[in-house]
Structure 1
Amino acid sequence: MSATTTAPGTAEKGHIDPASAFVPVQTRSERQTSFDPADFGAPTGREVNWKHTPVERLAALFVDEPAPHGVISVEVSAPDVVEQTRLRPDAAPRGEVFTPEDVTSAIAWHQESEAPLLRIPAGVELDEPVVVTLTGNGGVAHAHVVIEAAPQSRGVVVLRHRGSAQHAQNVEIVVRDGAHLTLVSVQEWEDDAIHLSAHQARVAKDATLRHVVVSFGGGVVRVNPSVELAGAGARGELYGLAFADAGQHLESQVYLHHKGPHTVGDVLYKGALQGASAHTVWIGDVLIGPDAVGTDSYEANRNLVLTEGARADSIPNLEIETGDIQGAGHASATGRFDDEQLFYLQARGIAEEEARRLVVLGFLMEIVQKIGVDDLAERLVTRIEAELAAGAAR
């Protein structure tokens, strides 16, 4: 399966002589897509979708070669009603939603001969989450996973990543009419792990996708969700939490495409950073298409820098192609501790270290509470506190 797509007319935009001029890709909707890794080539770091990523650390994932078996151990805990099978590249719904946007996702598609499918059947409401635990055992691994919520179903799927690996991963998400799906991807890798993941989703009529990215561990972790609100009344809630330590690069490039009428989008990512060279990147692209009348959409990214030497890059973008919307906006803020908050807490007898812990927890808890899985929320709070304690001990 091979196809290449570029937006029509992009070569002529803003140039007198299109035959002799190069026009860089300016927006997410213009990017090239292809199932063939050769159509992309290895990134140099100058490309718009790679310029904030340390590509020199990712060389092993730019090679289109079979990876050894057993690099990633997979354990699935799911109610019996959840359907599990495997899909070849030409077996639906694989490929219904997903089209690679970069070389690593094209390689993962190509190398995954049989993609695992998790399907919540029509009309079923799960009473416990599906938990997929992926443990890296060292080496390079590729994966393509398909998750489908059939019409009028409800459920939660949690992807837990731990151990060590260099992992290129695709997650294809199909949310049918009236379904409600929560997908949580948690990255708790060891410090030497590399994880590049492309999530692509389509949300149908009156359906809701709550998509959450939580990144703690890993040397380079890049999880890029792309969500199309295709049906009338579709809703997309995209949330993220990143806690970067010294030497870590945690990145998310978020794309929310309002395609159908009367769709609702809510995007909120938060990051905390501590330690020299801790780095987070958030790029948020929202496209409100010409048929997306009545859209209500907002995206925001907020970062809390805890120490010197840390850096947060935050780039919100908004495209609107119709004038008939309910509202649209974006915001971005990066800063240090609020001295007034610290003073308030210390004035009431709380030690400075404890006051800082409370401020960070309060800042990040907004995302944790949106997950809606109590056991997972408790574990994430414990992890945040451990990160803070480790930073204070340095």
Structure 2
Amino acid sequence: MSAVSTSSALPTAEQHGIKEHSDGRFGFVPVQTRSERFKSVDVADFGPVTGREAVWRFSPVAKFTDLTAGELDGSTYPVDTTDAAGSGVSGAAPGGVAPGGVAPGGVTVEWVGRDDARIGQAGQPEERASANAWSSFDSALAITVSGEEPQEFTLTRSELGTAPRGAHTIIEAKPFSQAVIILENLGQARLSENVEIILGESSNLTVVSLQEWDDSAVHLTNHFASVGRDARLKHVVVSLSGSIVRVNPSVHLVGSGSDIEALGLYFADAGQHLEQQVYINHDAPHSRSRVTYKGALQGEGARTVWIGDVLISNTATGTDSYEQNRNLVLTEGTRADSVPNLEIETGDILGAGHASATGRFDDEQLFYLQARGIPEDEARRLVVRGFLTEIVQQLGVPHLQERLNAAIEAELLGTEGK
């Protein structure tokens, strides 16, 4: 029996009746797990954003094509820095950071080149806006924490302007260090950026990303975190203002005993789009994660999006994980999308679960308060404050908790007050 020559044989896919796709590939297989998404630091490797992509399907992509497809200003920009006592960075120029500036307590702030060895350690872009920022920045702003004494440090940006901008920030916690880093965003902006957070062994770091932009601001940011052995990261996203704010934390638990507590608080007013896509990748044994995001919506066209992906890989034995998202709808004409996802590749875990809920006021709570003489408007404010207090109380920064409580009250009263 003569063998069939390879030149005349049909391709395997065609033999089984599979037709060639329009992109010219046989048997195309979509991404099967969250960790398999395509990654690249080169914007040219990503196609145009259409809004049909999984990562963009809830976003108003037509409103920020300058950040996904246009050229971005990647130059350095002014920042203000203070410690818990209100002291500025030593040697800092007015409104800026001097290279090698050291804040009281040992937090180092400096601009570093694209060849800095830390760049790319925590993660890489999975979408075009992030890659555009990565391809565009001239220098990265590096914040380095050392020393075993607890420290608190605030970095404020308020002069970014309205031109499309790309930026890159590195936050590194040296082994056994402890710190609270507050990234405060104010003023006008059209910004796409990447923030890399690197935790060394047994470090304990809190990073708070606070969005209190002007009403017209557009902010697209991806936070990539790598958490080492026995290290603990508390990552907090607070989004209260801005036209479009999209903060996507991606946390990789790479060391045994690593821990992430991801907290989120957001309050969307009329016409605002506030979005969070959270990804927790358990890659090491005996790692732990807790994800809690809570938001409120009021006003015509207020929109929030929360997507939570948790992957427990086959190497992450002994994992303990739970994620939840709660949304409180205050008026008609709002929309909250909430999508929790959980992938488990090993059965040897302590526990894993997820929950999501979106609803209106609890009439029983309002009735209880009104029956005790509290007017309806004040009763509603009390319910919302109580709903969001769970996140505020977990910050562990008293002056910031006080500030956020005041900002929430201002949102409820419909005043500026921030």
- Asked whether the two chains share a fold, i.e. TM above 0.5, the reply is yes
Correspondence for 2:252 among 228, 233, 237: 228
Correspondence for 2:330 among 300, 306, 311: 306
Q: In structure 2, give the amino acid aligned to 1:106.
A: A
Give the CA deviation at 1:21.
4.5
Distance 1:68 1:267 in 2: 32
Cα 1:372/1:240, change in 2 over 3 Å: same
Q: In structure 2, give the amino acid aligned to 1:243.
A: F
Distance 1:141 1:299 in 2: 33
Give the CA deviation at 1:199.
0.1
Aligned to 2:400: 376
Aligned to 2:153: 130
Q: Does the alignment pair 1:76 with 2:85?
A: no
Give the CA deviation at 1:73.
3.4
SS in 2 for 1:356: helix
Distance 2:164 2:406 in 1: 30
Correspondence for 2:391 among 342, 361, 367: 367
Correspondence for 1:170 among 194, 197, 216: 194
Cα 1:124/1:132, change in 2 over 3 Å: same
SS in 2 for 1:314: strand
Aligned to 2:90: none
> Superposition RMSD on alpha carbons, in Å?
1.8
Aligned to 1:96: 121
Question: Is the 8 Å Cα contact of residues 74 and 136 (structure 2) preserved in structure 1?
Answer: no
* Unaligned segments of structure 1, at least 5 residues: 1-11
Give the CA deviation at 1:87.
2.3
Q: In structure 1, give the amino acid aligned to 2:156.
A: T
SS in 1 for 2:78: strand
Q: Does the alignment pair 1:36 with 2:42?
A: yes
Q: In structure 1, give the amino acid aligned to 2:114.
A: P
Q: Does the alignment pair 1:192 with 2:198?
A: no
Distance 2:32 2:382 in 1: 40
Give the CA deviation at 1:102.
1.1
Moved more, 201-210 or 95-104: 95-104
Question: Is the 8 Å Cα contact of residues 309 and 340 (structure 2) preserved in structure 1?
Answer: yes
Q: In structure 1, give the amino acid aligned to 2:192.
A: A
Distance 2:161 2:219 in 1: 13
Aligned to 1:260: 284
SS in 2 for 1:20: coil
Distance 1:93 1:69 in 2: 19
Aligned to 1:107: 132
User: Whose Rg is larger?
Assistant: 2
Give the CA deviation at 1:112.
1.2
Give the CA deviation at 1:92.
1.5
Question: Is the 8 Å Cα contact of residues 195 and 220 (structure 1) preserved in structure 2?
Answer: yes
- Please list the CA deviations of residues 291-333 of structure 1 after superposition, one character each: whole Å capped at 9, or x if unmatched: 1111000000000000001010000000000010000000000
- Please list the CA deviations of residues 129-161 of structure 1 after superposition, one character each: whole Å capped at 9, or x if unmatched: 210111132221111000000000000000111
**Structure 1 consecutive aligned stretches of length 4 or more whose deviation exceeds 6 Å:** none
- Please list the CA deviations of residues 3-49 of structure 1 after superposition, one character each: whole Å capped at 9, or x if unmatched: xxxxxxxxx9xx98484344444542221100110111221000000
Correspondence for 2:53 among 47, 52, 76: 47
Distance 1:302 1:82 in 2: 35
Give the CA deviation at 1:89.
2.1
Question: Is the 8 Å Cα contact of residues 74 and 137 (structure 2) preserved in structure 1?
Answer: no
Aligned to 2:9: none
Q: Does the alignment pair 1:119 with 2:124?
A: no
Moved more, 34-43 or 322-331: 34-43
How much identity, in percent, do the aligned residues show?
55
Question: Is the 8 Å Cα contact of residues 187 and 217 (structure 1) preserved in structure 2?
Answer: yes
Q: TM-score, normalised by structure 2?
A: 0.87
Q: Does the alignment pair 1:248 with 2:253?
A: no
- Please list the CA deviations of residues 84-106 of structure 1 after superposition, one character each: whole Å capped at 9, or x if unmatched: 22222221112111211111111
* Unaligned segments of structure 2, at least 5 residues: 1-12, 84-102
Question: Is the 8 Å Cα contact of residues 284 and 315 (structure 1) preserved in structure 2?
Answer: yes
